[in-house]
Chains A and B, each alone.
Chain A
């Protein structure tokens, strides 16, 4: 059921052997595309399906669009007259051309999230190009060298909050190792009728503006009942001394957000059809501005087969958390002739996005109750496992961090497959010879036939450490906390997901299906602290906002380890443009390739990067208002 009526003159792909199934009849989709008429779907209760464009040549138009997701009229920023924008379905190996026309009164842009493309096609105003001025058209053209599920979104101002996003689905050139009968995109987002500028301004002036789970006299009494007076008072005093609140789960919550599934509010009940026994591939994309989603389908185990567009060894779970900008593909195989609820609750609870998997349209089943609102724990403050709380360390931290770093270095080295020297054969690369120094094209995505690049033993040295910025970190306006101890929390599913009786996906579970293509050990380690001051709503790396910091420089062809240390009490989904982030989660040469990594509070994670594509790349927290507040750096590969 391809929707092709808005794109002119493009060649259609031959219909693949698996149809790409949309949730509703074509009539519904056509109605959604009739955008000049104004789209008021929540008023009519009509369900929206995503349009899909296929081929090699695309024309996208960005314009404002009247919408009604909440019962109130509002204005969104739409692509080809729909929110979300159409699914773009590409084929690996093609060169695609996308002409993007801006009909807004303000500049716009489209960034292809997770795509390994030349930097000037990456779509970040100020780094890739100037952006797309009002009335102008920018033509993106690049070869598609990868496959999987990705997405696109604006990188201009706050347009990401306004609906300018859509799914990218790239079919592999070869046979897909993932077998399925039906295929759906499930794009999750957070919508607000409040102007994003107002939202940002509210957070700057009162950072807990949207938190309606604050500690009150009432919660104090409850805690006294359950934990006793002494423990409750001690806890209040301990956190109070640092002006910290364990209820800082999300900066923006259901107090203003309505959560949408493929552009449908919960009541519209977006529905995906299946026949019992079929294998259904669900491509979950978290296109939110600020929301971490916990996704599950009660009664139906999900087998995760892809993370951030890269195949992983199948792992079956009941629930998974999607950080902002992450994607996970899962296979479900409903056997019964019944409806199943696709349930996505934000980490801050309060409301949810919801849809239904059903054998027929119009079916629905019970919506599960939301889980309790989580609280930050001592582990989130870097105090885990300590008998006595001495509070956040008030000064330099180098003594705490260094031993940890040494451990990591050892782990890293041992992971880097010393015995694999036999793989040093550099020929037989799927996309030609792999010469890191030439740095010509990006390294190929790991696949069946890609060969692992290894360094000669003389180059297997332990990496030099580089700390960006000022060390040691000191508390100040930009740094509200420096945890006493940080550790990898890859085995921790995250706040609100522990001990809920369900199998929840953890980063430790992710193991790539194919060996990584770059087996060289890193020659350098770059350590970056994720820092912030919640009260002032200032966020950055190593205490510096973007405007205060210099770019991070990488040498073309270099293999680098990034170490992120989260000094804040919140999760940060950290996204590096243009290059893969190979998470060091103990999987060795099968480390999962990701484009966005969700770093938990007081967590220290590391990942490897092959700086194989030159350019100025954005590196930032994908929480929109954290990025806007300064949590952004430029990474220059040259």
Chain B
């Protein structure tokens, strides 16, 4: 079911954004007469569709608020070229040996025509952690909004017409050439409650933070920061019932890393 839904989303996306029409030179003369065509074994003069791989952790950090400490990761990566990429995203939290918020996505990605800095993405999300497992179809956009904001809203759908949404955003404020202050926020919404995962209807939770990192190199920047997480409405009620905090402020220590 989820596979089919994910596949449908990808196909719909491809159909909506496929361009791929080669330009035709208006006054192209008939086929060249006296210039031999390149032999079949010849390489291309330039390879402008090199396949690259990318992995980044926006959060790889320990969080503490005194009595409780937890480990949190939020990473993503892709493999592909300019116009076709396969993305993998993963985030989650480990506290006292219990993993929560485990969210793992595999998405097909293409640039959106006529938008300069945004890609659409479609695929599947699975929630795998210490709680019950859920599978979703996913479709979203990700990119650089005006004024250099990183912005990624995603819509998730699963059986029974359940819908979920996530908006994440961040901004890199360069204090110096290497010292960066990064505010970040992530919001989750659910159309229907999922008691098994402690999720209520509506705006369920928020995870936000401000991190101050120093780029020892472009690809390696240790940071310290402050995070604030909160659950709302029904979700908060579930949390209280489970003896969990509803508002958590933490100090964090971590590292931004990519390759």
Contacts and interface: CB of A to CB of B under 8 A. Distances in A.
A152 B23 CA distance: 33
Given A217-B175, A524-B27, A547 B35 contact: no
Interface string B24-66: 1111110011110011011111111110101000000000000
A466 interface: yes
A251 interface: no
Contact of A202 (B34, B48, B111, B218): B218
A541 to B, nearest CB: 10
A615 B35 CA distance: 6
Contacts of B113: 476-477
A206 B115 contact: no
A64 B173 CA distance: 43
Contacts of A129: 42
Contacts of A535: 116-117, 144
Nearest to B27: A466
Residue with the highest number of chain B CB atoms closer than 10 Å, among A127, A202, A620, A638? A638
B45 A243 contact: no
A550 B24 contact: yes
A550 to B, nearest CB: 6
A305 interface: no
Nearest to B147: A240
Interface string B151-181: 0000000000000000000000111110000
Interface stretch (A41-49, A447-455, A585-593, A629-637): A629-637
A215 interface: yes
Given A533-B117, A535-B144, 18 more contacts: A127-B38, A205-B52, A212-B177, A216-B176, A237-B147, A476-B114, A476-B115, A477-B116, A538-B82, A545-B48, A545-B49, A545-B82, A547-B44, A547-B48, A550-B28, A556-B34, A616-B38, A638-B35
Interface string B108-129: 0001111111000000000000
Contacts of B144: 243, 535
B146 A241 contact: yes
A548 interface: yes
Contact of B43 (A107, A206, A546, A555): A107
A259 B147 CA distance: 34
A126 B42 contact: yes
A542 interface: yes
Nearest to B23: A469
Contact of A155 (B23, B45, B173): B45
B28 to A, nearest CB: 5
B35 A614 contact: yes
A533 B43 contact: no
A536 interface: yes
B232 interface: no
A365 interface: no
Contacts of A60: none
B26 A466 contact: yes
A428 to B, nearest CB: 28
B148 interface: yes
Contacts of A4: none
Contact of B29 (A209, A555, A629): A555
B45 A127 contact: yes
B35 A475 contact: no
Interface of B is mostly: loop
A205 B148 contact: no
B116 A480 contact: yes
Contacts of B26: 466-468
A187 interface: no
Interface of B: 22-29, 32-35, 38-39, 41-50, 52, 54, 82-83, 111-117, 144, 146-148, 173-177, 218, 258
A574 to B, nearest CB: 15
Interface in A460-504: 464, 466-470, 474-477, 479-480
A214 B23 contact: no
Contact of A548 (B22, B25, B111, B173): B22
B224 to A, nearest CB: 18
Contact of A125 (B22, B33, B45, B83): B45
A151 interface: no
Contact of A217 (B45, B117, B174): B174
A569 interface: no
Contacts of B83: 477
B105 to A, nearest CB: 20
Contacts of A552: 25
List 10 tightest A-B contacts by C-beta distance, closest first: A638-B32, A477-B111, A630-B48, A469-B23, A126-B45, A240-B147, A216-B174, A638-B35, A545-B48, A241-B146
Nearest to A469: B23
Interface string A345-383: 000000000000000000000000000000000000000
Nearest to B173: A217
Contacts of B54: 205
A103 B174 CA distance: 47
A550 B23 contact: yes
Interface in A525-569: 533, 535-536, 538, 542, 544-550, 552-553, 555-556
B148 A638 contact: no
B39 to A, nearest CB: 7
Nearest to A470: B23
A476 B113 CA distance: 6
B143 to A, nearest CB: 9
Contacts of A23: none
Contact of B174 (A214, A243, A637): A214
Contacts of A479: 116
Contacts of B176: 216-218
Contacts of B46: 546, 620, 627-628, 630, 632
Nearest to B175: A217
Contacts of B28: 550, 553
Nearest to A524: B27
Contacts of A200: 50
A200 B51 CA distance: 12
Given A126-B45, A547-B44, A629-B48, A553 B82 contact: no
Contact of A240 (B44, B45, B146): B146
A130 interface: yes
A205 B146 CA distance: 19
B32 A553 contact: yes
A628 B49 CA distance: 9
A119 B34 CA distance: 12
B35 A616 contact: yes
Contact of A476 (B22, B24, B27, B116): B116
A201 interface: yes
A599 interface: no
Contacts of B258: 205
Residue with the highest number of chain A CB atoms closer than 10 Å, among B24, B112, B218? B218
B85 to A, nearest CB: 11
A421 interface: no
A124 B44 CA distance: 10
Nearest to B52: A201
A242 B117 CA distance: 10
Nearest to B118: A477
A629 B50 CA distance: 9
Residue with the highest number of chain A CB atoms closer than 10 Å, among B27, B45, B112? B45
